[in-house]
Amino acid sequence: MSTLLLTPSLPDISKAFGTLPGNAQSLVTLYLLAFAISQLVFGGTCDQIGRRPTLLGGLTLFGIASVACAFAPTMAFLQIARILQACGASAIVVSVYAILRDTNDAEGFAKAGSTLAIITGSIPAIAPMIGGYLSKTVSWRGNFVIMALLATSLLVLTRLYIRETIHAKSRFNFVTLFRNYATLLMEPRFAVQAIAAGAVIGGLYAYNAGVPFMLTDLFGVDATRVGFVTGLSVPAFLAGSYLGRIALKRLTPERVAQIGTLTCVAGGLLFFALARGNLLSISSIVLSFSLFALGMGLSIPNIMASALRFQQSSAGAGTAVLGLAQTFGGALFTFLLSLTASPTSNLPTLICVCGFVAASAFNVSLLFKGAKRP
């Protein structure tokens, strides 16, 4: 949410600090990199000292960093505050998914993940619109005030209602932490499925970082409408998550993930073809990425369920590695986009590449020993 709320304001932040668009886009890239790397620490913390303390600490850090972002006097200060905000967010995400894995088997986790995707997916449907509205009527700083208030509310609710779900806790140890990660990464099936998840999310973040500039440059869309247009593809993601949950009554998580990644390929190809044929319009951009988003809703919960199928004792570490792969994918493709002078010509290509990498990687993962066949 913190990134999707901010993306419609990136052009305004660039103007406010007198920087190039690439510097404003770095607020997304730095956030994703910090989010990815810090998960390696919080994944182990989650397994060793417990889910609840990690979750409470993450909410506290996120709230404090959001206040710092709201009052940032310079771009450099804002970038540092965004890094701290990302660290808090990573602790939150790792803890939540570990709690879900503690309380479900693989199929149950996929269903729970799909339900969580529907709930959290509703927020991105609204967040870009709120972000664009606040940027136009108040200031881009208002976005961070909303984040701080939300973190405070969730902190109170967590203290009141969330209980610990892991009982075999031990003292935090970096040697044990990285030994667990090494073990995970040596499992080819898990490692390749992590790449697939990263490619899917890479497409999402590349789109959200690049489409505001595409809409502004090609169609003269202002910040308020950029947020609205960005949110139009979210119903497709929600539909994918819902359909994926229904499909699990008959299909394995692996089969649903296959269908989802192939749908991402179709969306990427459509976007690429429209750009090559000079047929881009606001509606065609939304349509093509909505197809990609449909595939994302089908695939992400099921890729994670498949990857964590045999990782119950190290759910925190497994979730952290999957989160690292996803946010690294987002950071990689937004970085590649920031290197280009024209998102209009390069964004469709990047989305297409993301789809092909995701589908190829997931299907290859099913060839390895220990993989559950669709």
Write out pLDDT tens, residues 337-361.
877 766 667 888 889 999 999 999 9
Write out pLDDT tens, residues 317-338.
787 788 778 878 887 888 888 7
Structure confidence at residue 82 (pLDDT): 94
CA–CA separation, 51 and 317 (whole Å)? 12
Helix (H, G, I), strand (E, B) or coil at 187: coil
370 occurs within a structural domain: no
Confidence label for 369 from pLDDT (cuts 50, 70 and 90): low
Structure confidence at residue 139 (pLDDT): 83
CA–CA separation, 287 and 295 (whole Å)? 13
Give yes or no for a contact between 318 and 309, defined as CB atoms under 8 angstroms apart.
no
Give the H/E segment covering residue 252. none
Reported as half-sphere exposure (CB side, CA atoms, 13 A), residue 195 has a value of 16
Structure confidence at residue 58 (pLDDT): 93
Q: What is the mean pLDDT of residues 3-30?
A: 80
Q: Rounded mean pLDDT of the chain?
A: 83
Q: 88 lies in which domain range? A: 2-365
Number of domains in the chain: 1
DSSP for 35-79, written as a single string: HHHHHHHHHHHHHHH-HHHHHHHHHHHHHHHHHHHHT--SHHHHH
Write out pLDDT tens, residues 122-150.
665 567 677 777 777 778 888 888 899 99
275 occurs within a structural domain: yes
- Angle of helix 282-307 versus helix 253-276 axis, rounded to 10: 160
Write out pLDDT tens, residues 186-208.
888 888 999 999 999 999 888 98
Report in angstroms the alpha-carbon separations of 197 from 64, 184, 314: 30, 15, 19
89 occurs within a structural domain: yes
6 occurs within a structural domain: yes
CA–CA separation, 57 and 51 (whole Å)? 10
Largest CA distance in the chain: 59
Domain of 249, CATH number, reads 1.20.1250.20
372 occurs within a structural domain: no
Structure confidence at residue 45 (pLDDT): 79
Structure confidence at residue 85 (pLDDT): 96
Write out pLDDT tens, residues 62-113.
999 999 999 999 899 999 999 999 999 989 988 888 887 777 776 777 777 7
Give yes or no for a contact between 176 and 316, defined as CB atoms under 8 angstroms apart.
no
146 occurs within a structural domain: yes
Structure confidence at residue 256 (pLDDT): 94
374 occurs within a structural domain: no
Structure confidence at residue 125 (pLDDT): 59
List the one residue out of 76, 109, 49, 39 whose CA is nearest residue 257: 109
Structure confidence at residue 120 (pLDDT): 65
Q: What is the mean pLDDT of residues 47-54?
A: 82
Q: Which residue has the higher pLDDT, 62 or 231?
A: 62
Write out pLDDT tens, residues 241-292.
889 989 988 898 999 999 999 999 999 999 999 998 989 899 999 999 999 9
CA–CA separation, 94 and 319 (whole Å)? 6
Give yes or no for a contact between 48 and 176, defined as CB atoms under 8 angstroms apart.
yes
145 occurs within a structural domain: yes
Dihedral of CA atoms 343, 345, 348, 354 in degrees, nearest 10, equals -70
**Percent of the chain scored above 90 by pLDDT?**
30
Answer yes or no: is pLDDT of 171 > 60. no
